[in-house]
């Protein structure tokens, strides 16, 4: 196996592979990347058994072949090499496989020990699966508005993913951790029978959001217990999570008579300042809403407290709501509108956060007890 490749092009793809693989696995192959050189292109594969990644880049092949090697070490080597063409030559001696990696113009050489490809896991294929297309820009936006809200509690597997739902040609993405809910729905499905509901691992979604562009489409297929994505020169797949997703529609308030509007960036900055003085274990901050003024403050502790006032549009009675700082801050970071609206009914009932003017998403946050 011998080929030449562009150093920068390889770094772009191996960095994504590095996001996929896990160093915690007891299986050494789970920390490896698989390289297959054939037909003047290099196929790159990586997996953590839950999420699979595959891409192709053009290379100049002298001898075809395949090899499996440590992804993190290969990435470090690539980062240490100067830009330009890199020579990759696989050598086998005394049952040992070694990749010789050299710069084509400078006297730099690395030798990296490798593994046989037989130990690398097989990927589920989607050759005969029916894909449907959605605009890449829309899917990226939907992922950003929802994926941060999934639960990280592994005992609640049914909340560890983003729920994909098909309703009357609308694609809806929903995520919740029990304290908050993120919802986004767009009319982007041509065929309302395109797929069944699925609970998708956020890792594969975050990689799509990070590495896809706003141009073109992303192709999706759901079959059995797998979901497949295709865009640009990338193919990703992931095992679907088990368990029934909560009936999220019961959480969405039907009537919230009170609301106030304010500047999103100003509010986010104020929350970050107030959070300096909160009890990190509890995370509680207070919102005191009065006509024209929102007072944000922390509870007094041994180290002190913080208070700030910012203008808001509100015409109701004075009310105070206690909220956890992080579930409040997270949606504000991914929203892009200049102004936002809070809708609420009572201090201990769910609060709905929306962009102003309203768009195709919203965030619901459960308040905390007042203390």
- Going by pLDDT thresholds of 50, 70 and 90, the confidence category of residue 27 is low
Report residue 49's pLDDT band, with 50, 70 and 90 as the boundaries. Answer: confident
Distance CA 19, CA 214 (A): 21
DSSP E strand stretches across 191-338: 198-200, 217-223, 226-231, 234-239, 258-263, 284-290, 293-298, 307-311, 319-324
Total Cβ atoms within 10 A of residue 108: 14
Helix (H, G, I), strand (E, B) or coil at 21: coil
19-32 mean pLDDT: 70
Q: CB within 8 A of 358, min separation 6: which ones?
A: 341
Distance CA 82, CA 67 (A): 23
Alpha helices, DSSP H, located in 95-228: 136-146, 202-211
Q: Where are the alpha helices (DSSP H) in 113-263?
A: 136-146, 202-211
The pLDDT value given to residue 36? 96
Query: Are 231 and 212 within 8 A, CB to CB?
Result: yes
Distance from C-alpha of 68 to C-alpha of 43, rounded to nearest angstrom: 12
Q: Compute the distance between CA of residue 117 and CA of residue 65 in angstroms, rounded to an integer.
A: 10
Residue 273: exposed, middle, or buried by beta-carbon count in 10 A (0-12, 13-18, 19+)?
A: middle
Average pLDDT, the chain: 92
**Helix, strand or coil for residue 335?**
coil
> What per-residue confidence (pLDDT) applies to 290?
97
Residue 24: the pLDDT is: 55
pTM for the model: 0.91
For the beta carbon of residue 263, count every other beta carbon within 10 angstroms.
17
Q: Is the pLDDT of residue 362 over 70?
A: yes
Find the mean pLDDT for residues 58-73: 95
pLDDT tens digits, one per residue of 163-173: 999 988 899 99
Q: Looking at the predicted structure, is the pLDDT value of residue 340 above 80?
A: yes
First vs last C-alpha separation in the chain: 68
Query: Residues 307-320: pLDDT tens digits?
Result: 999 999 999 999 99
* In the block, residue with structure tokens 């990689």: 207
- Side-chain-side CA neighbours of 253 within 13 Å: the count stands at 21
Hey, is 18 helix, strand or coil?
A: helix
């Amino acid at each position: 196996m011998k080929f030449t490749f562009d150093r920068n092009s390889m770094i772009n793809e191996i960095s994504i592979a590095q996001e996929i693989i896990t160093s915690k696995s007891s299986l050494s192959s789970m920390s490896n990347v698989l390289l297959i050189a054939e037909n003047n292109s290099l196929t790159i594969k990586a997996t953590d058994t839950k999420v699979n990644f595959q891409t192709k880049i053009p290379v100049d092949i002298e001898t075809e072949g395949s090899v499996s090697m440590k992804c993190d070490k290969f990435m470090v080597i690539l980062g240490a090499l100067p830009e330009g063409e890199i020579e990759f030559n696989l050598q086998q001696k005394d049952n040992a496989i070694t990749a010789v990696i050299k710069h084509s113009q400078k006297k730099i050489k690395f030798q990296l020990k490798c593994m046989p490809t037989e130990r690398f896991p097989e990927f589920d294929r989607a050759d005969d699966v029916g894909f449907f297309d959605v605009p890449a820009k829309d899917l990226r936006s939907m992922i950003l508005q929802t994926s941060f809200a999934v639960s990280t509690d592994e005992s609640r597997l049914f909340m560890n993913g983003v729920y994909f739902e098909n309703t009357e040609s609308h694609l809806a993405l929903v995520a919740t951790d029990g304290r908050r809910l993120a919802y986004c729905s767009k009319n982007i499905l041509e065929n309302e029978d395109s797929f069944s509901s699925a609970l998708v691992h956020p890792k594969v979604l975050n990689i799509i959001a990070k590495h896809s562009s706003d141009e073109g489409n992303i192709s999706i297929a759901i079959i059995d217990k797998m979901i497949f994505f295709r865009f640009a020169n990338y193919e990703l797949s992931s095992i679907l999570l088990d368990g029934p997703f909560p009936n999220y529609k019961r959480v969405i308030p039907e009537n919230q008579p009170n609301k106030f509007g304010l500047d999103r960036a100003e509010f986010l900055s104020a929350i970050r300042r107030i959070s300096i003085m909160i009890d990190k274990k509890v995370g509680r901050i207070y919102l005191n809403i009065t006509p024209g003024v929102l007072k944000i403050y922390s509870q007094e502790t041994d180290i002190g407290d913080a208070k700030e006032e910012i203008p808001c549009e509100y015409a109701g009675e004075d009310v105070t709501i206690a909220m956890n700082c992080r579930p409040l801050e997270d949606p504000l970071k991914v929203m892009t509108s200049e102004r936002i609206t809070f809708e609420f009914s009572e201090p201990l009932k769910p609060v709905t956060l929306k962009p102003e003017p309203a768009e195709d998403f919203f965030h619901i946050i459960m308040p905390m007890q007042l203390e």
